[in-house]
Amino acid sequence: MIGKFQLCSVKERIIKEAFKLFWRYGIKSVTMDDIAKDLGISKRTIYQHFPDKEAIVILVIEQELETQKCQMDKMDEDKLNPVAQMILGADYMRVSLAHMNPVVFHDLKKYHPHAWDLFHRYKHDYIIKEIRENLIEGVETELYRKDINVDMLSILRIEQVLMALDPEIYPADKFNMMNVQMEFVHHFLHGILTEKGFKYYTKYIEESATSITHEK
């Protein structure tokens, strides 16, 4: 049994280290050797737990999505109003993306279609549902315009998040990805707020750290 716990623990350490390296350097440029070296273990030990790098990538992405899900569920429990939820959601994203090399998305899409697919399924099954609920609640509480099309705009919102991450659309040498994300969330909100909603908005952005900076 002790052996089993140790194995578990090694597996977790591998995932944790891979996550750290992937987020810092992207996925393609990190090899099994790099992960082994950083952990001070042999490559053979890694292969005892994972058949290949793909298996590590998938587990890293699964865990990251699980963490994001937890964070969003926590926000739901806090029963914030829809405007605050949208701003805090963007704020959370800003923090979580701050430590991620944007090449991770590029590498996932290009070299790890299965893991990319996990991300896409999560987007469809979970995030769009969250955004949809936010929009519906906002309309019901008269914070958002009643003539918005909830289905169209919830897809638009999630696609905007992905768009800001795409270096082919917003090249990294010209745009700061997080500033693009922040510009989008504020533009998106302006696009749906009623006068009543706008008052809440002004209050929350003063309280929130989500300030738009127009650097770069």
Alpha-carbon distances, residue 135 vs 51, 70, 123 (angstroms) = 43, 20, 16
Q: Which of 10, 72, 80, 156 binds a copy of itself (CB under 8 A)?
A: 156
Per-residue binding letters, 98-137, with a copy of itself (x by CB under 8 A): ----------------------------------------
Q: Which of 29, 42, 149, 202 binds a copy of itself (CB under 8 A)?
A: 149
Interface with a copy of itself includes 152 (CB under 8 A)? Answer: yes
- Where would I find the H helices in 26-149? 32-39, 43-49, 53-77, 82-98, 103-111, 113-122, 128-140
Token pair, residue 150, equals 């909830």
Distance CA 183, CA 160 (A): 10
Q: Which of 8, 70, 169, 172 binds a copy of itself (CB under 8 A)?
A: 169
Shortest CB 2 distance to a copy of itself, Å: 50
For residue 20, the surrounding DSSP H or E stretch is: helix 2-25
Residues that bind a copy of itself (CB under 8 A): 145, 147-149, 151-153, 155-156, 159-160, 163, 169-170, 174-175, 179-180, 183-184, 187-192, 212, 214
